[in-house]
Amino acid sequence: MSDGNLFAQQESNKKKSVWLVVGFLLFFAWIGFGGDLALYLETRSYPPERYHHVVPWIGLIAGSLAAGIAWFAWKKGPGRVLAATGAQELISPATPELQRLDNVVEEMAIAAGLPKPKIWIIADQDPNAFATGRDPFTAHIAVTEGLLACLDRDELQGVVAHEMAHIRNYDIRLMTLLAAMVGVVALMSDVMRQFLRFGGGRGGRGGGKKGNPLALVVLVLWLVSLVLAPLITRLLSMAVSRKREFLADATSAQLTRNPVALASALEKIEGHAGATRAIARGAAHLCIVDPGERKIADREGFVADILASHPPMRLRITRLRGMGYAAEKQASPQALPG
């Protein structure tokens, strides 16, 4: 990957992070003020003694909540993701296995031209890894105990280089924000649905008059937004993740000059049928492989493209082995003309 393409990718990810936050704030504003608008239209024809919704308190609360959550996700998101896995920071390597990891992370940081990220160990026997943080200066790499146990040094180097690629490309900022906001949007939608169940039967029909048709239209749009928002944000995070996994695989091959090592690592990881239970599904797009059972991720086609958080493993491995074959062919001496 050329420096020009790299810088373009970094700038693209930074801009997408900004637009993600803007979209998140606008969604919360719509959920809040859209509800206010529906209530205002519905109650403005009520008799004077009945409740009239004038102060947009739903929008004010939702907007304030959204701003607070966006700030929290920005400042505390990486720490919350790590805390949710029960990860422990590696300070002083106490075993040869941990020392090897520490050395490999330092080597790949130098190769990528980045500060050495903090290293975290997750007590889970399923092999997996992820990177998180706001930028290369606040980055973290977390690996499971199962990953350290099953990979040799070259394979571990390939996995760490893959995570370094996410750090260098500013994928970590975008994907950490997504991890936080996907969960928050789902929570907000659930809270508002509970609010509707609790308050929906009160003050609905007044004075024998029919409901305002415009209020009904706004209310329907509002309800559809509540229902679809968690699904849309989840699909968005998965689409973002799939595209960046291919890029990170290619960057790993560039940093290590050994694409076959990462292919071999992915084959070993895929050979474990279990799930990485320490990593929540909401953070799946941060990981090098899907932390779930990976049944959907093994498939190709429309359903997998919609539901899987990662590209099909076979396709990733095939691409990496193709890179290795091309590099080996290019390095082999050409036959001299006779």
**Which residues sit opposite 89 in a β-bridge?**
120
Q: Which of 42, 107, 155, 163 is catalytic?
A: 163
Cα separation, 160 vs 181, whole angstroms: 26
C-alpha distances in Å from residue 186, one per residue of 63, 150, 226, 335: 16, 36, 9, 62
Residue 260 near residue 318, CB atoms below 8 Å: no
Q: What tokens were used for 161? A: 């280089």
C-alpha distances in Å from residue 240, one per residue of 17, 202, 247, 310, 324: 11, 42, 11, 9, 26
Residue 254: burial class (beta carbons within 10 Å; 0-12, 13-18, 19+): middle
Cα separation, 218 vs 272, whole angstroms: 49
Cα separation, 148 vs 210, whole angstroms: 66
Buried b (16+ CB within 10 A) or exposed e, 260-278: bbbbbbbeebbebeebbeb
Greatest distance between any 2 Cα atoms in the chain: 103
Strands 88-89 vs 140-144: parallel, antiparallel or unpaired: unpaired
Specify the 3-state DSSP secondary structure of 136. helix
In the block, tokens 């990593």 appear at 279
Determine how many CB atoms are found less than 10 A away from the CB of residue 96: 8
Q: Is 293 a catalytic residue?
A: no
Cα separation, 71 vs 21, whole angstroms: 10
Could you give the residue numbers annotated as active site? 163
